[in-house]
């Protein structure tokens, strides 16, 4: 190819500017100091930029250049353990499925990351009818990817809806379940009859009784568990690590406890439905390592007083730090008699009926003295219901926090006399007081009473320990009433704020924060209870 030494000639405009190239040498174009050279340099820069952009389409983006190990760490950070679910996974950006849909590389990384597939929440309301047929296979694929890691599974739906997916999950994966939340294996406690054949459940009684829950630490059973008097109910016959269990509807048809559980190793036990006193007297002593307990104690079927004279094993609960007792009928302090609670810190007592107000019936001096001795370590006390406050509080000088918000309707002079130091000063160490204002008609006057209580108890003469340091008021009233109550409290208590006194007014609907068993939470991180 011949060497080019010049360009074609150009014509001149009337003003002398060239319209096309003339005799311009290659050296002039190549030189950065000439006008032609500068123009060519600009064009060269633009050309390189365009070419780079075109080539960049084939280069991986910065996120695509991340290593598989770093992607795995990001995936584990982004996907919340509790939010993984099959139901409506296409709308849930926190599920592993969503990550798998970005690109093939992300899918490969996610499929090869067992930790992404250890938790599953299945809500049958979000599963379409045609999808139910593939649920067993889908569950199997999900947990197969988790390899050998412990599993967390929550099922939301009716017991009938649970039969097929649970049968496909429990039998092959029972030994790997760590946290289990499901409706009810009520078939476990049934014996097949003409009205209840074994075919109603893919997991029969014999199959369940042979399951070995090696990893199970916590379980929630939301529907009926029926325990019969003539046969054992093998709920968790082998669960060496089980510590937390909540049963929402536990039913006993006889006087004996034939529910097979590792009672002695439980640290958390929540029984939401009412059980008779004699049943509680059998269950409670079987849990000597209990740390947190919630029980509903109902009236005996014969409508007589609790059989407190029946033989009950004496147990010292060295680890019990929180106890909640809900009484469906009367409150009898003698239910504590067979037990000791040296470590108990938080106590909640709920009474629905007013039968116990007959002081001569259940509140003798001997009974109260024994009760105060057993509860000597309690520092936080919550009372729900119409209580004879003076009988319970007089001997509990150690109380630091008192919660009287539940169902207390009238802060009258009688109540005021319990907490103001006109007579014997009860609860001298009280630092935190929680009350509720739930009636628009009386809330402002009650706010004045509350302010007087604080003023009385913060007086140096009456309260050598310094008095109440924090007042928490739950204002379940209208906005206007709440503002008026706040102004009243702020005005009357203003002198104490400079000394560290704290006022907290919560704008909360009382129904949403009353003693709601559905909102029970484990203190050590039990998920979604």
Residue 266 lies in a domain: no
Average pLDDT over residues 407-426: 57
What count of Cα atoms within 13 Å lies in the side-chain half-sphere of residue 201? 25
* Between residues 173 and 317, the one the model is more confident about: 317
Q: Is the pLDDT of residue 198 over 60?
A: no
Cβ atoms 225, 184 nearer than 8 A: yes
Highest mean pLDDT among 130-139, 264-273, 343-352, 440-449: 264-273
DSSP 8-state symbol, 29: H
How far apart CA 227 and CA 260 sit, in angstroms, is 10
- Name the region of 309 (left: φ>0; alpha: ψ -120 to 50; beta: rest): alpha
The Cβ of residue 363 has, within 10 Å, a number of other Cβ atoms equal to 19
From 114-118, 185-189, 264-268, 524-528, the region with the lowest mean pLDDT? 524-528
Residue 333 lies in a domain: no
How far apart CA 252 and CA 250 sit, in angstroms, is 7
What is residue 377's predicted lDDT score, i.e. its pLDDT? 92
Residue 39 lies in a domain: yes
* Between residues 128 and 400, the one the model is more confident about: 400
Who contacts 87 (Cβ-Cβ below 8 Å, separation ≥6)? 121, 122, 123, 124, 125, 126, 127
What is residue 291's predicted lDDT score, i.e. its pLDDT? 93
CA-based max dimension of the chain: 126
Residues β-bridged to residue 347: 323, 381
Percent of all residues in the chain with a pLDDT value above 90, rounded to a whole number = 13
Q: Residue 464: pLDDT band by 50, 70, 90 thresholds?
A: low
What is residue 30's predicted lDDT score, i.e. its pLDDT? 66
H-helix or E-strand containing 40? helix 35-56
How many distinct structural domains can be found in the chain?
1
Q: Is the pLDDT of residue 221 over 50?
A: yes
Average pLDDT over residues 338-343: 92
Residue 458 lies in a domain: no
- Which residues in 371-388 are b (16+ Cβ under 10 Å) and which e? bbebbeebbbbbbbbebe
What is residue 266's predicted lDDT score, i.e. its pLDDT? 95
Average pLDDT over residues 337-354: 84
Q: How many helices (H) and strands (E) does the chain have?
A: 17, 16
Domain membership of residue 42 as a residue range: 26-56
DSSP string, 2-19: PPP-B-----B-TTS-BS
From 23-32, 95-104, 146-155, 329-338, the region with the lowest mean pLDDT? 23-32
Cβ atoms 426, 418 nearer than 8 A: yes
The Cβ of residue 174 has, within 10 Å, a number of other Cβ atoms equal to 23
pLDDT in tens, 11-24: 444 455 544 445 55
Q: Residue 190: pLDDT band by 50, 70, 90 thresholds?
A: very low
How far apart CA 171 and CA 165 sit, in angstroms, is 11
* Between residues 213 and 93, the one the model is more confident about: 213
| 3-class DSSP state of 355 | helix
From 249-258, 276-285, 458-467, the region with the lowest mean pLDDT? 458-467
Closest CA to 317 of 277, 369, 241, 266: 266
The number of angstroms, rounded, from the C-alpha of 224 to the middle of its chain's C-alpha atoms is: 22
Residue 465 lies in a domain: no
From 8-17, 210-219, 289-298, the region with the lowest mean pLDDT? 8-17
DSSP string, 377-419: T--EEEEESS--HHHHHTT-TT--EEE--TT-----HHHHHHH
What is residue 511's predicted lDDT score, i.e. its pLDDT? 40
């Amino acid at each position: 190819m011949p060497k080019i030494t010049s360009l074609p000639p150009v014509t001149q405009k009337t003003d002398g500017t060239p319209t096309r190239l003339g005799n311009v040498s290659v050296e002039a174009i190549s030189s950065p100091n000439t006008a032609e050279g500068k123009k060519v340099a600009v064009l060269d820069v633009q050309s390189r930029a365009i070419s780079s952009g075109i080539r960049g389409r084939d280069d991986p983006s910065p996120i695509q250049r991340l290593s598989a190990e770093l992607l795995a760490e990001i995936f584990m950070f982004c996907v919340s353990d509790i939010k993984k679910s099959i139901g409506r996974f296409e709308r849930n950006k926190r599920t592993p499925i969503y990550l798998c849909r970005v690109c093939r590389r992300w899918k490969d990384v996610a499929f090869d990351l067992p930790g992404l597939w250890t938790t599953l929440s299945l809500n049958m309301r979000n599963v379409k009818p045609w999808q139910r047929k593939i649920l067993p296979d889908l569950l199997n694929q999900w947990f197969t990817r988790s390899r050998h890691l412990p599993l967390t599974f929550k099922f939301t739906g009716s017991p009938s809806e649970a039969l097929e997916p649970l049968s496909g999950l429990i039998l092959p994966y029972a030994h790997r379940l760590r946290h289990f939340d499901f409706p009810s294996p009520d078939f476990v406690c049934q014996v097949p009859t003409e009205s209840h054949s074994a075919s109603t459940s893919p997991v029969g009684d014999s199959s369940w009784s042979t399951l070995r829950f090696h990893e199970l630490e916590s379980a929630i059973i939301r529907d009926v568990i029926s325990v019969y008097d003539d046969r054992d109910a093998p709920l968790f016959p082998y669960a060496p690590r089980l510590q937390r269990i909540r049963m929402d509807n536990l039913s006993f048809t006889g006087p004996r406890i034939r529910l097979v559980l590792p009672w002695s190793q439980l640290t958390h036990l929540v029984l939401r439905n009412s059980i008779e006193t004699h049943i509680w007297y059998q269950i409670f002593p079987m849990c000597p390592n209990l740390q947190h307990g919630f029980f509903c104690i109902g009236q005996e079927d014969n409508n007589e007083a609790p059989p407190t004279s029946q033989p009950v094993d004496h147990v010292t609960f060295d680890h019990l730090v929180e106890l909640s007792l809900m009484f469906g009928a009367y409150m009898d302090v003698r239910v504590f008699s067979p037990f000791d609670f040296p470590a108990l810190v938080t106590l909640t007592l709920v009474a629905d009926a007013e039968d116990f107000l007959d002081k001569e019936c259940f509140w003798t001096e001997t009974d109260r003295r024994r009760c105060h001795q057993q509860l000597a370590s309690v520092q936080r006390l919550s009372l729900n219901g119409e209580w004879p406050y003076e009988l319970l509080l007089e001997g509990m000088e150690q109380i630091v926090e008192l919660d009287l918000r539940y169902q207390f309707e009238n802060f009258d002079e009688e109540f005021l006399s319990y907490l103001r130091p006109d007579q014997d000063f009860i609860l001298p160490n009280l630092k935190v007081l929680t009350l509720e204002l739930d009636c628009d008609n009386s809330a402002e006057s009650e706010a004045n009473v509350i302010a007087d209580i604080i003023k009385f108890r913060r007086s140096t003469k009456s309260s050598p320990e310094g008095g109440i340091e924090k007042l928490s008021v739950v204002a379940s009233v209208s906005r206007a009433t709440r503002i008026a109550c706040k102004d009243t409290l702020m005005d009357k208590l203003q002198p104490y704020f400079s000394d560290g006194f704290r006022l907290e007014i919560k704008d909360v609907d009382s129904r949403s924060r009353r003693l709601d068993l559905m909102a029970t939470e484990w203190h050590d991180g039990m998920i979604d209870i």
